[in-house]
Structure 1
């Protein structure tokens, strides 16, 4: 499966900006109002990108003969998702939201 770093290296300027924005949604420390934004926690961002790709991939069975194309399509859709949400203000990583949302 493609890594966030590989997607960044292979991507257009728009893809690189979207990946930077996704990284920024995973700060390494709690942001302080008025201070310089903290560096991204790339380890967490990478993990969440992989999980996002897996969610998009859904129930694809690893033994399926067409698995490489399923994975490739999910990777492309994960990058397309980042491109779509990069313009949103107050974007939050959907994996973070799923993990930390309060029980209803």
Structure 2
């Protein structure tokens, strides 16, 4: 499965901007007393991108029954999702939102 970093490295300028925005929605838990804004928590963003891709993959109805095509399609759909929501000013990661709504 493609990683968020690989998608960034291989992506267009729009894809890179969408990935940056997705990363920014995962702020580090470092103390807020620092002058510059906290760095994105890329480890969590990467994990949530993988989970988002897996959710999409589970919902995918493949044209061909082989796993490679299902994974590739889900990867493309996950990146398309990031591109679609990158312009939303109030975007929150859907994985984060699901975790906050789930009873702990």
User: Normalized against structure 2, the TM-score is what?
Assistant: 0.86
The change in CA–CA distance for 1:86 and 1:65 in structure 2 (over 3 A counts) is same
Following superposition, which runs of at least 4 residues in structure 1 exceed 6 angstroms of deviation? none
Q: How does 1:17-28 map to 2 (within 5 A)?
A: 17-28=17-28
Give the Å deviation of 1:102: 5.8
1:81 aligns with 2:88: no
CA–CA distance in structure 2, aligned partners of residues 92 and 25 of structure 1: 6
Q: Secondary structure at the match of 2:36?
A: coil
Q: Secondary structure at the match of 2:71?
A: helix
Give the Å deviation of 1:37: 2.3
CA–CA distance in structure 2, aligned partners of residues 21 and 30 of structure 1: 19
- Give the aligned CA root-mean-square deviation in angstroms: 2.1
Give the Å deviation of 1:21: 0.3
Q: Secondary structure at the match of 1:44?
A: helix
How many pairs were matched up? 99
User: Normalized against structure 1, the TM-score is what?
Assistant: 0.86
Give the Å deviation of 1:76: 0.2
Q: Secondary structure at the match of 2:87?
A: coil
Give the Å deviation of 1:30: 6.6
Encode CA deviations 1:10-69: one digit per residue, 9 max, x unaligned.
00000000000000000002785xx63210000000000000000000167xxx951000
